[in-house]
Amino acid sequence: MTQQLSIGILGAGRVGTAVGRQAVRAGHRVRIATDKPADEIKLLTEVIVPGAEAVDKDQLRGSDIIVVAVPLHKYRSIDTEVLQGHVVIDTMNYWAPVDGVMQEFESGRSTSEVVADFFGDVRLVKTLNHIGYGDLEVDSHPAGTPGRRALALAADDDDAKQLVAAFIDSLGYDAVDAGALSAGKAFENGTEIFNGRHTAEQMTGLLEQCQRVLAGV
Ligand SMILES: NC(=O)c1ccc[n+]([C@@H]2O[C@H](COP(=O)([O-])OP(=O)(O)OC[C@H]3O[C@@H](n4cnc5c(N)ncnc54)[C@H](OP(=O)(O)O)[C@@H]3O)[C@@H](O)[C@H]2O)c1
C-alpha cells in the first residue's frame, strides 16, 4: 500500500492543480498555496482539486514534499523561507519565448541547479517537468501495467530522491533515477525525453545516451 504523504503545492495553476488532483486520488493529504491569501484560491481549489485544502503559503511548512509549480521567470518572487529544510520538487522549465531571456539559464547548467542555489537549504528533486499537465491523469497507470509511462528524477540527495520516487509511483508512473541534479539537463525543454512518452526501459536508454554525449564518448 502507498505510504500517505503530506504534499504541499506552491502554485495553483495548470501544473499545481493537476499534480494536486493526482495526489488526492493517490490518497495523500494535499495543501495548495500561492503567494496570495488562501481565501483567494479556496473556491478554485474546491472545484478543481476536490479533497485538497487551500492554505496560506506558510502552512506548507512541515509537508513531506513541497511541489513548486510556478512559472520559472517568477522564481525569484518565491518566498524561499517556506521551503527551508524540505524535500522540494522543481517542476519548472525554462523557455525563453515565454520566460524571456534569463542569463542565469543560458549558462549550460541545469535550470534546477540555478534554482537550488536560490532556494538555499532544500533537498531539491527535479521531476514532473517533462509531462504535460493534461497528460498527468490520462497517462497514469498502476504499477506493473505493461508499457507504463516513466518519469525521470534528478537530485543530489538520495533519500529525497527515494521519497519522491515513491510519490511518483503513487501518481501512476515508474520513476527512473537520472542521477545528480546536474543530470536533469537530459530531460529539460528541447530534449527527446521532454518531448515524448517513454517506458522505464526506454527512459533508462535515453538517459544513458545523454550521459555518453555529455561525456563526449
Ligand atoms: N503547462 C504544462 O503542461 C507544464 C508541464 C510541466 C511543467 N511545467 C512548468 O510548471 C511551471 C508552472 O506552469 P503552469 O502552467 O502551472 O503555470 P500557471 O498556470 O501560470 O500557474 C502558475 C501558478 O503559480 C502561482 N505563482 C506565481 N508566482 C508565485 C509565487 N511567487 N509564489 C507562489 N505562487 C506563485 C500563480 O498564482 P497567481 O495566479 O496568483 O499569480 C499560479 O497559481 C512552469 O515553470 C512550467 O514550465 C508546465
Q: Which residues contact 119 (CB under 8 A, 6 or more apart)?
A: 78, 80, 83, 88
Residue type, 132: G
Q: Residue 122 has what DSSP assignment?
A: -
Entry pTM:
0.97
Mean pLDDT of 117-125: 98
Contact 38, 55 (CB under 8 A): yes
**Which atom of ligand 1 is closest in space to residue 36's alpha carbon?**
40
DSSP character string of 164-196: HHHHHHHHT-EEEEEESGGGGGGGSTTSTTTTS
| Rg of the chain taking only CA atoms, in angstroms | 16
Ligand 1 pocket, mutate which of 10, 15, 168 (most atoms under 8 A from CB)? 15
Give phi and psi for 164, each to the nearest 5: -70, -35
Q: Which residues contact 21 (CB under 8 A, 6 or more apart)?
A: 48, 49, 52, 136, 137
Ligand 1 atom 44: residue of nearest CA? 71
| Domains of the chain in sequence order | 6-215 (3.40.50.720)
- List ligand 1's pocket residues with C-beta within 6 A: 10-16, 34-36, 69-72, 74, 77-78, 91-93, 129, 132-133
Q: Which residues contact 190 (CB under 8 A, 6 or more apart)?
A: none
pLDDT at 135 over 80: yes
The confidence score (pLDDT) of residue 8 equals 98
Question: If you average pLDDT over every residue of the chain, what do you get?
Answer: 96
Mean pLDDT of 47-59: 98
Residue 14 CA, ligand 1 centroid: distance in Å: 7
The C-alpha atoms of residue 128 and residue 88 are separated, in whole angstroms, by: 12
Mean pLDDT of 178-200: 96
The confidence score (pLDDT) of residue 185 equals 96
**Which atom of ligand 1 is closest in space to residue 12's alpha carbon?**
43
pLDDT at 1 over 60: no
Mean pLDDT of 12-36: 98
pLDDT at 195 over 90: no
Q: Starting from the edge strand earliest in sequence, which strands make up the sheet with 150-155, in order?
A: 53-54, 29-33, 6-10, 65-68, 87-90, 123-126, 150-155, 174-179
Percent of the chain with pLDDT over 90: 94
